[in-house]
Amino acid sequence: MTDGIRRLTLPLPVGPGHVHCYLLPGTAGWTLVDTGLALPGIEQALADIDVAHIVVTHFHPDHVGGAAPAADATRATVYQGELDYAQCEQVWGSTDWPARIASWFHRNGVPAAIADDLYAEGDAARPLIRFAADPVRLREGDRIDGWEVVGTPGHADGHICLLRDGILVAGDHLLPDITPAVGLYPDGRPDPLGDYLASLERTIALAPGFALPGHGEPIRDPAARARTLLEHHAERLDGAAAALERAPRTGYEVSLRLFGDDLAPSQRRFAVAESLSHLEHLVFTDRARKRESDEGFSYTEL
Residues that bind Zn ion (CB under 5 A): 60, 172
CB of 179 within 8 A of CB of 65? no
Q: How far apart are CA 179 and CA 173, in angstroms?
A: 9
- Smallest distance, Zn ion to C-beta of residue 244, A: 28
Phi, psi of 147, deg, nearest 5: -95, 135
Q: Select 157 or 172, whichever has its Cβ closest to Zn ion.
A: 172
| CA distances in angstroms from 236 to 75, 242, 254, 274, listed in the order given | 44, 10, 11, 10
| Residue number, nearest CB to Zn ion | 60
Q: Select 29 or 186, whichever has its Cβ closest to Zn ion.
A: 186
Q: How far apart are CA 21 and CA 169, in angstroms?
A: 10
Q: Select 51 or 175, whichever has its Cβ closest to Zn ion.
A: 175
Q: Select 5 or 174, whichever has its Cβ closest to Zn ion.
A: 174
Cis peptide before 153 (omega within 30 of 0): no
- Smallest distance, Zn ion to C-beta of residue 171, A: 7
- Smallest distance, Zn ion to C-beta of residue 240, A: 22
Q: How far apart are CA 238 and CA 257, in angstroms?
A: 12
- Smallest distance, Zn ion to C-beta of residue 232, A: 17
- Smallest distance, Zn ion to C-beta of residue 91, A: 12
Q: Select 34 or 117, whichever has its Cβ closest to Zn ion.
A: 34
